[in-house]
């Protein structure tokens, strides 16, 4: 397969994984770089430095814990939106050496938009799960997101074809989830827009006074 196509698949997969989890994909790429499994062009090769790996590992632990607490996770998602977008931009642009026809500036923008879109869909669906399960489903959903983010990042970096397939599945899953939310919102709207049933007038059956 054309290396440029593989590089494009890898870039989109890595950027999308940052939308699911901000720090895990960066840590994954940093470790793969550190152990020589992938090679990044400067300045992105700095991700493989011990200092960067240490900071990313600490941030990954903080994000992992914070994302498992109901209500707190919603705040974390809102605050992390620009951070996740930046992480996606960095991961996408780190593959620019494989995408020869895209300038680094465009790569940053595309990566930012990709990560922001995935993170936005994630942020929109989490409150629905919280409300439907009274918060009990948040931890399980967060673990699924973490696992999928790590799988998407690692396969996109090492086996781009598999990573691209995982990306397609992610897009389909979010599309179905958003469609379900919109449909549910319309049903609730129709329920509240129905006119109230008229109250039957009460009849006075008491006997007339003598």
64, part of any domain: yes
Going by C-alpha positions, the residue among 63, 88, 93 that lies closest to residue 75 is 63
Tell whether 209 is covered by a domain.
no
With tokens 């827009």, the residue in question is 193
In a domain? residue 206: no
Expressed as residue numbers, the domain containing 81 is 3-193
- Is 52 inside a domain boundary? yes
Residue 115 lies in a domain: yes
Residue pLDDT tens, the chain, 210 long: 566 677 888 999 999 999 999 999 999 999 999 999 998 888 889 999 999 999 999 999 999 988 888 777 778 888 888 999 999 999 998 887 666 666 778 888 999 999 999 998 888 887 777 777 776 778 888 899 999 999 999 999 999 999 999 999 999 988 887 787 777 666 766 666 666 555 555 555 555 554
In the chain, the number of structural domains is 1
The crossing angle, in degrees rounded to 10, of helices 3-20 and 138-158 is 160
Supply the Cα-derived Rg of the chain in whole angstroms: 24
- Judge whether 200 lies within some domain: no
Output the pLDDT for position 89.
93
Domain membership flag for residue 205: no
Determine how many CB atoms are found less than 10 A away from the CB of residue 36.
8
d(CA 192, CA 210): 49
Contact 108, 94 (CB under 8 A): no
- Predicted confidence at residue 69, as pLDDT, reads 80
In a domain, 202, yes or no: no
Residue 155 CA to residue 176 CA, distance in Å, equals: 24
Q: Are 41 and 96 in contact (CB under 8 A)?
A: yes
Query: Would you call the peptide bond into 43 cis, given omega within 30 degrees of 0 as the criterion?
Result: yes
What's the confidence (pLDDT) of residue 130? 74
Total number of residues shown for the chain: 210
Specify whether the CB–CB gap between 88 and 114 falls below 8 A: yes
At 164 the pLDDT is: 92
- Show the DSSP H helices in the chain as ranges: 3-20, 23-34, 50-66, 72-93, 104-133, 138-158, 160-193
pLDDT at 192 (0 to 100): 62
Q: Which residue has the tokens 């129709």?
A: 190
Give residue 161's pLDDT. 92
């Amino acid at each position: 397969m054309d290396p440029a196509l593989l590089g494009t698949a890898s870039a989109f997969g890595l950027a999308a994984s940052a939308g699911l989890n901000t720090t895990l994909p960066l840590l994954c790429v940093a470790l793969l770089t550190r152990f020589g499994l992938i090679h990044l062009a400067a300045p992105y090769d700095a991700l493989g430095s011990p200092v960067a790996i240490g900071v990313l590992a600490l941030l990954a632990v903080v994000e992992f814990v914070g994302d498992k607490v109901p209500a707190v996770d919603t705040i974390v998602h809102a605050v992390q939106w620009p951070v996740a977008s930046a992480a996606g931009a960095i991961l996408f642009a780190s593959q620019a050496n494989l995408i020869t026809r895209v300038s680094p500036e465009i790569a940053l923008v595309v990566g930012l938009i990709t990560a922001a879109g995935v993170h936005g869909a994630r942020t929109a669906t989490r409150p629905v799960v919280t409300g439907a399960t009274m918060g009990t489903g948040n931890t399980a959903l967060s673990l699924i997101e973490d696992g999928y983010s790590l799988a998407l990042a690692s396969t996109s970096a090492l086996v781009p074809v598999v990573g691209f397939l995982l990306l397609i599945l992610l897009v389909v899953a979010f599309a179905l989830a958003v469609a379900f939310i919109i449909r549910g919102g319309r049903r609730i709207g129709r329920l509240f827009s129905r006119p109230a049933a008229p109250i039957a007038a009460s009849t006075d059956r008491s006997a007339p006074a003598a």
